[in-house]
């Protein structure tokens, strides 16, 4: 697949807002999206040996390479227009340290940002960008 795929928590308000943010900054429609809870997202997780029920992270799939947590987020930023690629400088920080902070947000995302009853349904204009 030519497009990087982003798997996200489809019921998380923070995650859905992040997808909206990415769509707004990706006018060339490079990214494709699928929710972690959906069949497509679950199939990608299984294909890449990631535990479907334990995913508490954004997942970026570039070809056959998979990135999770802070590495995924920073590699996504690298593909956005200026100034967002500047954030990829944080890739020089060891993932263990970056993920410490990422995990604190991920663990509290429902409490801090809320949760939806169901996964987002893309508008007809955005349907082609979603794999579910």
Tracing tokens 């990415």 back to the chain, one arrives at: 22
> Average pLDDT of the chain?
89
Position 60 pLDDT exceeds 90: yes
Q: Are strands 65-68 and 59-62 parallel, antiparallel or unpaired?
A: antiparallel
**Strand-pair category, 5-8 with 59-62:** antiparallel
What pLDDT sits at residue 115?
Answer: 83
CA distances from 70 to 59, 60, 76, 105 (A): 9, 10, 10, 11
User: What is residue 61's predicted lDDT score, i.e. its pLDDT?
Assistant: 95
The predicted model scores a pTM of 0.89
pLDDT in tens, 30-47: 999 999 988 999 999 999
Say yes or no to pLDDT of 82 above 80.
yes
Residue 63 near residue 23 (C-beta atoms within 8 A): no
Please write the tens of the pLDDT for every residue from 110-128. Answer: 899 888 776 666 677 777 8
Rounded-to-integer distance, Cα 120 and Cα 107, Å: 21
């Amino acid at each position: 697949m030519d497009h990087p795929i982003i798997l996200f928590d489809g019921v998380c308000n923070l995650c859905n807002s992040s997808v909206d943010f990415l769509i707004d900054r990706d006018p060339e429609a490079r990214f494709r999206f699928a929710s972690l809870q959906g069949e497509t997202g679950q199939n990608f997780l299984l294909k890449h040996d990631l535990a479907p029920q334990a995913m508490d992270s954004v997942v970026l799939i570039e070809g056959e390479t998979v990135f999770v947590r802070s590495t995924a987020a920073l590699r996504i930023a690298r593909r956005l227009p200026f100034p967002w690629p500047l954030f990829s400088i944080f890739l020089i920080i060891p993932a263990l340290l970056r993920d410490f902070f990422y995990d604190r947000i991920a663990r509290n995302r429902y409490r801090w940002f809320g949760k939806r009853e169901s996964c987002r349904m893309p508008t007809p204009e955005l349907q082609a960008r979603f794999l579910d």
